[in-house]
Chains A and B, each alone.
Chain A
């Protein structure tokens, strides 16, 4: 796995856990880079299981949400699963207001989210 600018990634129980470097994911150039880095995670695994941990994130724009939607489609097309965790209440509101909480499985804590992956 190469070096990333916008994310850090580690593995727990065969799940790739991703955290964001930026507290405020809002800069257009950084969001483009973020999108590329997220998609690159799916290149390395045939059935990626990804957990996006939002614990560092204080702001997340709709452009950044769009990158997650593209990622979600790629992961599901590859037979993988995606989970979100550790969202601040305001960030969680973003997903509630837009009904995207019906697209993404969201859990409060990382460990709980890892347990929620369906086994083969």
Chain B
């Protein structure tokens, strides 16, 4: 089977509140577990989705109830693909301070992007910076 023959899709516009984000991620996690993705992969996808969706809700849409976050997820037998888009102004990922520098280590923000890039295989932002695409391949 082709790596991008999708066998499951989630395509929802969710409200800009963290609870809705958690609920959306929970649906995805149930699918991954039902489809017997390895625990380490599920953890990585969970981490990346949690950070990406919460960034969109909190920093992108600033929890504005009039805005939504578009969460699109496709699963093939061997690949996870997601696109998370908010209705905010966007941002430049290069402007986010490196959280691993000594002076930033004890700050309580700025770790999300680093975690996303460490836990999935590919992270791509659009030019505006209000949409992020995540890809992870199943590793058995």
A66 touches B43 (CB 8 A): no
A98 touches B111 (CB 8 A): yes
Q: Is B2 an interface residue (CB 8 A)?
A: no
B40 touches A97 (CB 8 A): no
CB distance from B107 to the nearest CB of A (A): 8
Q: Is A93 an interface residue (CB 8 A)?
A: yes
- Per-position binary interface string of chain B over residues 33-57, scored 1 when its CB falls under 8 Å from any chain A CB and 0 otherwise: 0000001100110110011001000
B108 touches A103 (CB 8 A): no
Interface positions, chain A 56-98, Cβ under 8 Å from B, are 58-59, 61-63, 65-66, 69-70, 72-73, 89-90, 93-94, 97-98
A59 touches B43 (CB 8 A): yes
CB distance from B67 to the nearest CB of A (A): 18
B19 touches A28 (CB 8 A): yes
Partner of A62, one of B39, B105, B115: B115
CB distance from A35 to the nearest CB of B (A): 10
The answer for the CA separation of A59 and B40 in the assembled complex, in Å, is 11
Chain B minimum-CB-distance residue to A102: B105
Q: Is A27 an interface residue (CB 8 A)?
A: yes
Q: Please list the residues of chain B having a beta carbon within 8 angstroms of any beta carbon in chain A.
A: 18-19, 22, 25, 39-40, 43-44, 46-47, 50-51, 54, 99-100, 105-109, 111-112, 114-115, 118
17 chain-A/chain-B pairs, Cβ below 8 angstroms: A26-B22, A26-B50, A27-B22, A28-B19, A61-B47, A61-B54, A62-B50, A62-B112, A70-B108, A72-B106, A90-B39, A93-B118, A98-B111, A98-B115, A99-B99, A100-B105, A103-B105
Q: Please list the residues of chain A having a beta carbon within 8 angstroms of any beta carbon in chain B.
A: 26-29, 58-59, 61-63, 65-66, 69-70, 72-73, 89-90, 93-94, 97-100, 102-103
